[in-house]
Structure 1
Amino acid sequence: MTQRVRVAVLAGGPSAEHEVSLQSARAVLDALPKDLYEPVPVIIDRQGRWPVELRGDLADVVFPVLHGPFGEDGVIQGHLETLGIPYVGCGVLASAVGMDKVAMRRAFLAEDIPVTPHVWFTGHEWRSTTDHWALVKSLDWPMYVKPVSMGSSIGISRVTSMEELRAGVELALSYDRAVIVEQGVSARELICGVLGGYDDAEASVPGELIVPDDWLDYEAKYLSPAEIATIPAVLPERVAEEVRELSLRAYRAIGGYGLARADFLYEQDTGRLYMLEINTMPGFTSRSVYARAWGASGVSYPDLLRRLIDLAFARSGA
């Protein structure tokens, strides 16, 4: 009998996305084909303490389903690089750029990928002035206020007045040292999965998020039983193809490897597409739009996990 590959599934961690990570890990652990893989759960607590020391004799490959800071920003990827253990997903640079909404937009703009108007500033800049309007005056209401480095809609506010803006910025600064403020647009929210290596990545069919009350917050994404996406999205073929093409361009712009989920805003009246962001470790819960997009593209969840693990070994040369 062929020896099974030991897969350490990393989850938890000290970020605000700890619970989301645990949900993702449960789904991965349950779906790994047991005839091929031996799952090794490694749950990091909220203080960042590991239950075991990660070594080559514990696992053959690591599947880090860690979302947000510590797990999706290049920190854990750098640690795994130093250990010399193959791991699933983007490397250090792509993870860091994909986590930082300012650096990410700079990478997109350098490759002529359209983004919505936005500004950013540090907590020091915000608290050093009483003229807060001066920091956002290039934008119109409504605006979206976000921590620069956070995911899962945590710390985000939709604002339509200076009073709401001030509250939104303070909320965002409770999660990060810097804030990005984006111009709100009336648009449909689309997603597209990317899977593959540096030069052979593929894009899934696009999906559309079902957005209640102007935006999809943390509760709607992870706690509500309501449906959150239509997959495939009902789009003109031209738009669907442009979504796939821009997804691959964004993936290359950050140096992606393994997987990513590209998020878009689609102005139906004008036909314009705006790149919202690219997530280098999207949710892997049972409701994951990334997995569902690939399912609609002919790749089952177990096959998706298998392909990601194969990519991890391919990058390491193992």
Structure 2
Amino acid sequence: MSSDRQQARDGARRGDGQRPPVRVGVLFGGPSAEHEVSCASALGVARALTGDGYRVVAVGITRTGGLRLVPDAVLAGYLHGSGAERAIDDRLTVAGPTVELRAGRQRGTAVVTAVDAPGTAHAELDVVFPVLHGPYGEDGVVQGLLESLGVPYVGCGILASAVGMDKVAMKRALRAEGVPCTPHVSFDGQTYQATEDPEKLVVGLRRPLFVKPARMGSSIGISRVAEGDDLAEAIEEALRHDNLIIVEQGVTGRELECGVLGGARPEASAVGEVRVTGGWFDYQQKYLGDSDPMIVPAVLPDDVTERIQDLSIRAFAAIGGWGLARVDFLYDEAAGELYVNELNTMPGFTAHSMYPKVWAAAGVGYREIVDRLVALAFARHAQRPTGPQDPR
């Protein structure tokens, strides 16, 4: 057992009949285009945390950024009901009284308070699990709030989250550490508007191209541009979601994914493969398709699997990751080349998601994943300074 795993097990504040349960605030929803995916992921996490030493408090974030506390009776119906077969149709709903998060009276806790009744505490939290995808949740914004409250939280910190969310910054970090990436260019909306011919922005790249918003996930706003396709139309679609655009050269090959879990000494999971139609893995295939496109474990030579696992841990370290990430690869089988396409610092947690599947193939079940993530949150929090620089 790695020292990280042992630390996680030793650091978990689980109820044992003598200690009170760990109060976990599950944050979900949010203003990003991945709101529905977050609601589905959060239900899986909340169900895994229910009972056996945990008490779940669900706090939804509206599309405009407001906080709503899901009432206990409503949450109980979600947690103990029989869920729909497809995770995307089985999700928490952001509804309930308007609340806000404040620092708790006890160091290392946060409190959920009523907005309409100042001083009235609905619930106190020992740790927060931000099951948020995309901008305002996976990009360091919520992480900054939680840092300011001084409460332990699951997943990457401010910097790693921001770098992981920004595909341009991420690729710079990966290249600096010698992690292979696909050829790409980036530019902002003003540069595009000032350019008469958008083809001049992608000189040196071969088609097909993938045009992406730099800070978005779940394949939202992405277009594949083959010979004869309109590059300007793809750029304008991406600009609907972000003012910073990245254009990547397509790689003819296999799409592979690997999970990372841990802190200072993270571990890599089994490797999964995504079998796609239409040239790339879009939102429809990820969440709404009729068939499961994921093959776990991927059929690969042992040395390729080992290279992917090694590169996953190196990529995680390159952004300063903590807790978890899913690392996505493109594998040019004919040339024997692997490219890291991106990292997701809060990957999907639905039953239809790759991250739980690749860890299950490595012998780590869903419940153990969330157990370890909560424990890692406490372990990192224990390392934070407590001197004059601590605002508490």
In the alignment, is the contact (CA less than 8 A) between 1:194 and 1:203 conserved in 2? yes
Q: Taking structure 1 as the reference length, what is the TM-score of the superposition?
A: 0.98
State the Cα distance separating 1:140 from its structure 2 match. Answer: 1.1
**Residues of 1 paired with 2:57 and 2:176: CA distance?**
41
Q: Which residue of 2 aligns with 1:216?
A: 281
**Residues of 2 paired with 1:248 and 1:44: CA distance?**
32
Bigger radius of gyration among the two = 2
In the alignment, is the contact (CA less than 8 A) between 2:146 and 2:153 conserved in 1? yes
Quote the RMSD (CA, aligned, Å): 1.1
SS at structure 2 position matched to 1:24: helix
Q: Which residue of 2 aligns with 1:54?
A: 101
How many correspondences in the alignment?
317
Q: Which residue of 2 aligns with 1:153?
A: 219
Q: Deviations over 1:78-115 (max 9, x none)?
A: 00000011000000000000000000000011011111
Q: Which residue of 2 aligns with 1:81?
A: 147
Which residue among 133, 140, 158 is the counterpart of 1:92?
Answer: 158
Q: Does 1:5 align with 2:14?
A: no
Q: Which residue of 2 aligns with 1:194?
A: 260
Q: Does 1:305 align with 2:370?
A: yes
User: Where do residues 252-263 of structure 1 align in structure 2 (5 Å cutoff)?
Assistant: 252-263=317-328
Q: Percent identity?
A: 57
Q: Does 1:104 align with 2:136?
A: no
Q: Which residue of 1 aligns with 2:293?
A: 228
In the alignment, is the contact (CA less than 8 A) between 1:191 and 1:206 conserved in 2? yes
Q: Deviations over 1:141-182 (max 9, x none)?
A: 110000010000000000124652111100000000111000
Give the aligned residue type for 2:100: E
SS at structure 2 position matched to 1:315: helix
Q: Does 1:125 align with 2:205?
A: no
SS at structure 2 position matched to 1:108: helix
**Residues of 2 paired with 1:59 and 1:164: CA distance?**
50
**Residues of 1 paired with 2:290 and 2:145: CA distance?**
36
Give the aligned residue type for 2:101: L
Give the aligned residue type for 1:300: G
Q: Which residue of 1 aligns with 2:246?
A: 180
Give the aligned residue type for 1:50: L
Query: Which ranges in structure 2 are unaligned for 5 or more consecutive residues?
Result: 1-16, 69-98, 103-109, 112-123, 384-392
**Residues of 2 paired with 1:131 and 1:31: CA distance?**
52
Q: Taking structure 2 as the reference length, what is the TM-score of the superposition?
A: 0.79
**Residues of 1 paired with 2:229 and 2:285: CA distance?**
25
Q: Deviations over 1:178-215 (max 9, x none)?
A: 11000011010000000000x21000011111111111
Q: Which residue of 2 aligns with 1:139?
A: 205
